[in-house]
Amino acid sequence: MVQSIPSPPLEWNAIPLGPLNLHIYALWLLAGIGVAAWLTQRRLTRRGAPPEVVLDIVLWAVPLGIVGARIYHVLTHTSDYFGNDDVWDVVRIWDGGNAIFGGLIGGALGVWIACRIAGLRFWSFADALAPAMLIAQAIGRGGNWWNHELFGGPTTLPWGLEIDPNAAMYKAMYPDGLAEGTLFHPLFLYEALWNLAGAALLLALDKRFHLRWGRLFGLYLVWYGAGRVWLELLRIDPTSDTVAGLPANSAASIVVVLLGIALFVLRGRRHPEPEESVYTPGREPAAEGAAAASDDAPAAGDVKVGGDPPTGDESSAGETTQDTPEEDEVEKTEAREKAEKATAPEEAEAEKAEVPEKATKATAPEKAEDAPGKPAASAGSSSSGAEG
C-alpha cells in the first residue's frame, strides 16, 4: 500500500545548457500544449477546418497566455513583487509564478486574434479546445509536482506528498518548519484527476448532445471553476491577496463558474439551431475561392496599358454589361434584315418557276376560240333545236 508520494530531488528542476537552464517545469507545460493542440486539431478538422489552422492559432495563444498568466499572478501577489529592491522579479517567470486564470484571459485574446485572421468562429474553436484544455492542465500540474509546489496542509493520508524542507514554497508556507517526515495534501494530483474526469465528461456530453456555439466551453468553465473553489480551500498560500475575505483564486473561481453558466444559457438561447460551419460567414474556402476568381477576372471596360491593343475576342471576353432597350431594338432589326436577305434568292427562284405557269394559263382560252369544226357546229345545232 502506498504510504506517501515522493517528490523529485530539487537539483533535477533544471537541465543546464551552457549559459541557459532548461526547466523541467517548462517541458511539462509544452507536453500539455502539444497534447491539447493534437486533440483540438482532430476535433476541429472533423468539422471542416484545415489541419494547419490549429498550429497558427497556438502560435498566438500560447505567448499571450504566458504573459497573461504572469501578469495575473503578479497582481494577486503584490507583496511578493512590489516594495522590494529587485523590480526584475516581476519578469522572472522561470522562478515560478503563473496563474491559470490569467493564462485563460491572455490565451483567449490570442485565439480571438488568430481566429479573425483565419476566418474561424471563435466559439467553434473554443468548443473544440474545451476538453483538450482540461487534459493539458492535468499534464501541466506535473510541473508543480516537479517544483515542490501546489500542495496543501499536512495530512496523514497514505497518498500524502513528500516536500523537501529546502523548497521555496515550503519555506514560505512554514517558515518555522514542521516535524520531519510531515506529509502534505497533493493538490496537484487532486486537480489533475479532477481535470481528467472533466475532460471525459465533456467528450461524452459533446458526443451525445453536439454542444456548439460556445456551450461546451461554458461547461468547461463551470467544471474547472468548481474544482478550483474546493481545491483553493485546501491550499495554503500565505502571500495571496484576498477579495471579500477569500483568496484571490477562490473569488476568481466563483466568477468563472457564474460566467460559464451564463455562457451556456445565453449562447443556447441565441443559437438553438445546429452549427453548420466553423467558418465565419463569407470566409469559407469555397467562398474565398470564388471571390479570388472574381478578383482575377477582367472587369468591363478594362484597357491594357502598354503592349498590343486587345483583340476582338479579348475585348468581348471581358464584357459583362447589359444592352439598353434601344440597342436591343437595333439588334432585332439587323437580324430581321439578314434573314430577309438570306431568303431572297429562294423567293426569286420561286417567282421564275411561276412565270411559265401563268403564261400557259393565259393562252389556253385563246386557243379554244380559234379552233374550227365540230365543236362550234355542235354548239350551233344544239342551240337551234332548243329554240324550235
Instruction: Write the pLDDT tens digit of every residue in 291-310.
Output: 555 555 555 545 444 445 55
- Reply yes or no on whether the pLDDT at 170 is more than 90: no
- Residue 324's pLDDT is 57
For residue 387, being part of any structural domain is answered with no
Strand partners, 246: 243
Query: How far apart are the C-alpha atoms of 219 and 200, rounded to whole Å?
Result: 12
Distances (CA, A) of 365 to 159, 368, 371, 382, 384: 138, 5, 10, 22, 25
Q: Which of the four pLDDT bands, split at 50, 70 and 90, describes residue 382? A: very low
For residue 238, being part of any structural domain is answered with yes
Q: Which of 91-95, 170-174, 330-334, 348-352 has the lowest mean pLDDT?
A: 348-352
For residue 87, being part of any structural domain is answered with yes
- Reply yes or no on whether the pLDDT at 142 is more than 90: yes
DSSP strand E in the chain: where? 14-17, 20-23, 154-155, 161-162, 183-184, 242-243, 246-247
For residue 117, being part of any structural domain is answered with yes
Domain total of the chain: 1
Burial of 133 (0-12, 13-18, 19+ CB in 10 A): buried
Q: Which of the four pLDDT bands, split at 50, 70 and 90, describes residue 99? A: confident
- Residue 51's pLDDT is 85
Which residues fall within 8 angstroms of residue 212, CB to CB, at 6 or more apart?
Answer: 123, 124, 127, 271, 274, 275
Residue 141 marked in a binding site: yes
DSSP 8-state code for residue 93: G
For residue 290, being part of any structural domain is answered with no
Strand partners, 17: 20
Q: Which of 88-92, 167-171, 214-218, 235-239 has the highest mean pLDDT?
A: 214-218
Query: How far apart are the C-alpha atoms of 326 and 168, rounded to whole Å?
Result: 91
Q: Which of 171-175, 196-200, 303-307 has the lowest mean pLDDT?
A: 303-307
Domain span holding position 244 = 23-272
Over residues 234-257, mean pLDDT: 80
For residue 334, being part of any structural domain is answered with no
Give the residue among 131, 128, 183, 109 at the shortest CA–CA distance from 153: 183
39: cell is: 486533440
For residue 383, being part of any structural domain is answered with no
For residue 180, being part of any structural domain is answered with yes
- Reply yes or no on whether the pLDDT at 16 is more than 70: yes
